[in-house]
Structure formats: C-alpha cells, structure tokens
A and B are shown apart, each in its own frame.
Chain A
Amino acid sequence: MKRWLTSSSGIGYLLILPSLVVIFSIIIWPIFYSVYISFHELYLVRPGEFPFVGLENYLKISRSRVFWAAVGRTFYFTGVSVGVAIILGLGIALVLNQDFKGRAFVRGLIILPWALSSVVNGMMWKWIYDGSYGALNGFLLQLGWIDSYKVWLADPRVAMNFVVMAEIWKETPVGVIFILAFLQTIPSSLYEAAKVDGASPWRRFRYITLPLLKPIILLLIVLKSVWAIRDSFDIVYMITRGGPAESTQVVTFYAYLTTFKFLRFGYGAAISYLITLIILVFAVVYMRLVYTETLYAETI
C-alpha cells in the first residue's frame, strides 16, 4: 500500500482525488440524476408523489410549440451575438495591433466590459434603453433621428435585437483578447517578406493573417456559442424577463420558468437535459480543437 502511494501513479490519483470528488458530486452526478428526474413527474407542490412516466416529458416537449420557439430564439441570440462579436472583435484586434500612442492603455481598457457581471450589464443596458428617461432615446433625439422617445423594449419585433446588442457589448472583448494574443505570436518576418514581394496590406491580411487566425476563430465560435447559451438566461432575466409577448424567451429562461415558477421539476429536467445535449455537441467539437491544437503538441 505504502509503495503504491509513493509511486508516480499513486500520487497522481491522490492529488486529483479531492477535485474529482467535488466535480463528481456537483456536476457529473447531477447530469445523470437529471435524466432520472426527467423520466418522472415531480411537482414540488405535491411532495411524496414521484410517479415514473417514462418518455412522456420528452414527448410533451417535442410537441410543445413554446419550446421549439424558445430553441429557435436561442439559436438566433447565439448566432447573431457570437457572429457580430467575433467580426467586431477581429476588427478591433487588428486596429489595436497597429502602432499608436497609448496602445497599452487602450488594450488594457478593452477588458472592462468582460469584468462587469451579466447582472450589471443587463441593468445598465435596460437603463440605457429605457423608454421614458433612457440615454439612447436622449441621444437619438438630440441627433434628430427620432421625434419622440420610443419604448424600444415593448416592441416584440425588435426587443430581441436590443438584448443581443447588450450581449455583444459584453462579449466582444473576449474575442479581441484572444485574437490579439494570437496576432502577437505571428512572426513579423512573414509580413516583411510579403512586403518585399510587393503584397498590398489587404493581400497580406487575406493570405497571411486570416489563414493563421482560422483555428483561433473556430475555437472562439465554439467557446462563445456555449457561453452565449449560458449567459442568455442572465441577460434576458435582467432586461426583458422573456417579454414582450414571449419574444425574448430563450430556452434557458423557459426552463427556469417551467421549473422554478410553475414548479414542474420533471418537465423542467427534461428541458434542461435537452440543453445539455446541445451543449455537449459544442463541447465535443471544442475538445477536439483544443486537444489537437495544443495538448498534443505541448505535453506528449
């Protein structure tokens, strides 16, 4: 026993044991318990009753129009916010990679939106969008673009886009930081050689920078999609609570309502489990990217 404990693998297991216990008890085990609950009917208002219903919850979900609409909105929220944040982030990173005075200062400041909590971010933008006293209305009125204050968040057709804009503002810095960090690893000799060969700035970007950035942009798309699905709850909760007319009800918020407002835990667990499945698809792609890009090169 003692010899095993002092061997490399013995110590290896010993050192990861505490972390594994914590991760298993709060994350891994609940994933399976969640499946178990989803096969039952569980209303917290009726304690003691826990009948097995098989796949019924899942069948109900598959027929639920509210659920599929929420899934669609989640994809819209994720796709638009991730897409715009990455394109914007790429643009900003390319500018901040140039030489200018105060570069270190602006580069440091770019992290600010990331440091704000999603709650403060949501509250801040709700206040800016405010229909009676909001800064956005005041600004547009002074520019002469609108004649009177508009209640932006009351319009089901555009409310989602305002929520998405708030998310884009907060999430853009992450893209900038990733891309900037990567741009600095590209040797400048590559660009100098291209310059000597007479390549224009656009061609240098198109044929040197972009191909080299491809893996990092792929990684960002996957990672940020997962984060966006996760963050969608906070931002919707803070700005619109799913309204107006359910127009911003993303699937994470729908799961929350079902479970903690209507107390249908079994049905809620089934919805949550479907969210997990969507995330797992992204997770597998993410791990493939990270594992092949860095881990194998570094440690093996």
Chain B
Amino acid sequence: MRKVEMKITGFLKHLPAYQVLIYTLVVLIFLFTIVPFCWLIISSISIKTELLSVPPHWIPKNPTLRSYKEILFGGTRTTRAARYFKRAVGNSIIVAGSATVLCLVIGSIASYSFTRLRFRGRHSLLLMILATQMIPAVAIIIPIYVVMMTLRLLDTHLGLFITYSSFVLPLMIWIMMGYFQTIPIDIEDAARIDGCSRLGTLVRIVLPLAAPGLAATGIFAFIVAWNEFFLALILTEAAAKTLPVLVSEFSTKFGADYVMMSTGGVLASLPPVILALTFQKFIIKGLTGGAIKG
C-alpha cells in the first residue's frame, strides 16, 4: 500500500502543476456530464427498498433488469403501462421516421435549389425560412390545433407527421446547404457539358455525392422529432401518443413508481443517445450548422 502511494506521489511530482489542473478539471467535466444520467440508469436497475432508503444505495447490491422485462414484455404488476409503452414506441418510430424521410426528400432538393440556383426572391425566401426556424411551437399551436380539429387529424399519425415535418424542415434545409456548398461546382458543369439535364445532374451526381451529409442531417432530424414533446402533448390523446408524452405520465398516472419511471426514461433515451454518440461528428456539424465553417 505504502509503495503504491509513493509511486503515485512520485508520478504526480513529475507532472507539472498545469497537467494536474487539466486532468482534475477533465474529471470534473466528465462527472458533470454523466453522473445525473448514470443515476437514472442505476435507479432503473435498483430494487425499490434499496432506492428508497435514506440515503439511497448509490451502488445497488442486487441489480436487476426486472423492470425492463416488465415494461417490454409485460409483467404481473404493470401490464397496462407495458402495453402503452410498446404502442408509444411504435407511434414515435412512425411519426419521427416518416417526418425524417419526407424532410430529407423535399428538404434536400429545396436546399440544393437555394445553394446553387439563382432565382428572384431567393434571399427573402431563405430569410423567411431562417426566421420560421425560431418560432416556438407554443406561439402557433392554437391555429394548428383548430385546423387539426376541423380536419379530424387530432390524435392521428398523419396530423403529427405533417406538423413535425414543418417544424424540422427549415433547420434541415439550412444544415444541408452547408453540405451542398462543399460539392465542387465543376463536377456539375462537367456533367452538364456531357449532356446531362439539370435535374439529371441533381439526381445522378449531386445527391449521391451529398449522401453522407444528407444521412447526417436525417439522424439529426430524427433525434429532434423523437424528443419533441409539446406538439405531441397537445395534438395527441391516446391512439397516436408518442413516447415523450407517455414518459411524462409515468411520474403521475401510474403512481410514483420510481424504478418504472427511470426505466421508461432510460429506454426513451436509448435511441437518441446511441445515435448521438455514434454519429457525434455529424451531429456536431449539424448543430453548428451554417454558423461555423470548420
């Protein structure tokens, strides 16, 4: 023991004070980032009695995945929550997925048009799209609600899908412009000289070249749509209820079952967290968007 201590202090002595400072700060940043979410994960695999002791058991003695099994496959206590949960997952996948696909299709061509083609009103239209990106849903929810009610689209996948698309679209057009700008215009010119029409060039040359960027934008859009809460809260009731709305009910509707609640929270976070960590480089590009050209 003594020897190890001496070794450590010896090691530290060789490090300049600056290095010690940096590593201490890095450890603090690391803890700041992961501790709250880790506590949610620990809560989800704890046994109730351990979790509700004072102070709580930070490291569970008997970790268990029972709550995960119950929420996904149904169990003795919470079959109702389990049934709702799977349906909400399905709804979220349908709505976020379809909105992402639609935005990729119509957003990419619009984005290309804004980047490469010259037409009257281009600047004002672009400015308008930039401005709509900032409008919060709460500001225009009333007309949307009234219209959805008249069209009988409340609590339907279609209604939510259309709404999500329009809220994600401006941001996507803006992000994708950054990708289209990186494609050399000479390649397009060459294709045009070889007799390719403008639309042909777009479909056969430009879109394949921009594919990685489009995929990245798609992932970004999917995360945003998956996590959206307010619109889903107002526009859905039961049939089309998405995962965030269901998770928000876990702390109230199904009694305050902290283990179950944490499990729901962790499961709802898995897709965006895994996507964000796997594709972090792309996400960072998406987030910083047009603001920084690195």
* A contact set with B: CB distance below 8 Å: 6, 8-9, 11-13, 15-16, 18-20, 22-23, 25-31, 33-34, 37, 92, 95-96, 98, 100, 102, 106, 108-120, 122-128, 132-133, 135, 137-139, 141-142, 149, 169, 173-174, 177-178, 181-182, 184-185, 216, 219, 226, 229-230, 233-234, 237-238, 252, 255-256, 259-260, 265, 268-269, 272-273, 275-276, 279-280, 282-284, 286-287, 290-291, 293-295, 298-299
- Whether A22 contacts B162 in the complex (CB less than 8 A), given A12-B118, A127-B40, A127-B43, comes out as yes
Contact A299–B115 (Cβ < 8 Å): yes
How far is A139 from B58 in the complex, measured between Cα atoms in Å? 9
Q: Which A residues lie within 8 Å of B166 (CB)?
A: 22-23, 25-27
- Whether A11 contacts B113 in the complex (CB less than 8 A), given A92-B29, A115-B276, comes out as yes
Contact B290–A33 (Cβ < 8 Å): no
Q: Which B residues lie within 8 Å of A174 (CB)?
A: 287
- Whether A133 contacts B56 in the complex (CB less than 8 A), given A34-B140, A113-B33, A280-B131, comes out as yes
Among B113, B132, B227, point to the contact of A16 (Cβ < 8 A).
B113
Return the 6 tightest CB-CB contacts between A and B, nearest first: A138-B55, A117-B227, A26-B166, A9-B119, A12-B119, A12-B117
Verify if B258 is at the interface (C-beta below 8 Å from A).
yes
Q: In this complex, what residue of A is CB-closest to B271?
A: A115
Sample (14) of A-B pairs whose CB atoms are under 8 Å apart: A9-B119, A11-B198, A22-B169, A27-B167, A33-B143, A116-B273, A127-B262, A133-B52, A138-B54, A184-B294, A230-B136, A234-B229, A237-B248, A275-B138
Q: Which A residues lie within 8 Å of B275 (CB)?
A: 115
Contact B269–A100 (Cβ < 8 Å): no
Q: Which B residues lie within 8 Å of A284 (CB)?
A: 131
| With A26-B163, A96-B29 already in contact, 14 other A-B pairs whose C-beta atoms are closer than 8 Å | A8-B119, A18-B109, A31-B135, A100-B26, A113-B37, A114-B287, A115-B269, A115-B275, A127-B40, A127-B251, A234-B229, A255-B138, A265-B146, A294-B290
How far is A108 from B23 in the complex, measured between Cα atoms in Å? 17
Chain B min CB distance to A204 (Å)? 14
Among A96, A127, A173, A184, point to the contact of B258 (Cβ < 8 A).
A127
How far is A174 from B283 in the complex, measured between Cα atoms in Å? 11
Interface hits, B19-63 → A, CB 8 Å? 19, 22-23, 25-26, 29-30, 32-34, 36-37, 39-40, 43, 51-52, 54-56
Q: Which B residues lie within 8 Å of A265 (CB)?
A: 142, 146
Chain B min CB distance to A198 (Å)? 18
Q: Which A residues lie within 8 Å of B268 (CB)?
A: 117, 119-120
Contact B130–A120 (Cβ < 8 Å): no
Contact B265–A124 (Cβ < 8 Å): yes
Contact B39–A133 (Cβ < 8 Å): no
Q: Which B residues lie within 8 Å of A110 (CB)?
A: 29, 33
How far is A162 from B169 in the complex, measured between Cα atoms in Å? 33
Return the CB mask of B207-230 against A: 1 if under 8 Å, else 0.
000000000000000010011111
Return the CB mask of B86-128 against A: 1 if under 8 Å, else 0.
0000000000000000100011011011110111101001011
Verify if B129 is at the interface (C-beta below 8 Å from A).
yes
- Whether A118 contacts B134 in the complex (CB less than 8 A), given A8-B118, A26-B144, comes out as no
Which of A16, A113, A229, A233 is packed against the most chain B CB atoms within 10 Å? A16
- Count class of interface residues, chain B: 35 or more
Contact A123–B288 (Cβ < 8 Å): no
Contact A27–B140 (Cβ < 8 Å): yes
How far is A185 from B130 in the complex, measured between Cα atoms in Å? 25
- Whether A112 contacts B276 in the complex (CB less than 8 A), given A19-B169, A27-B167, A124-B265, comes out as yes
Q: Which A residues lie within 8 Å of B169 (CB)?
A: 19, 22-23
How far is A33 from B228 in the complex, measured between Cα atoms in Å? 24
Contact A287–B131 (Cβ < 8 Å): yes
How far is A113 from B117 in the complex, measured between Cα atoms in Å? 38
Return the CB mask of B256-278 against A: 1 if under 8 Å, else 0.
00100110010011001101110
B-side interface mostly: helix
Q: Which A residues lie within 8 Å of B1 (CB)?
A: none
Among A114, A149, A272, point to the contact of B141 (Cβ < 8 A).
A272
Chain B min CB distance to A194 (Å)? 17
Verify if B291 is at the interface (C-beta below 8 Å from A).
yes
Verify if B173 is at the interface (C-beta below 8 Å from A).
yes
How far is A299 from B34 in the complex, measured between Cα atoms in Å? 40
Among A20, A117, A124, point to the contact of B226 (Cβ < 8 A).
A117
Among B138, B170, B223, point to the contact of A115 (Cβ < 8 A).
B223
Q: In this complex, what residue of A is CB-closest to B128?
A: A28
- Whether A178 contacts B229 in the complex (CB less than 8 A), given A22-B106, A26-B163, A98-B22, comes out as no
- Whether A177 contacts B36 in the complex (CB less than 8 A), given A12-B122, A37-B146, A283-B131, comes out as no
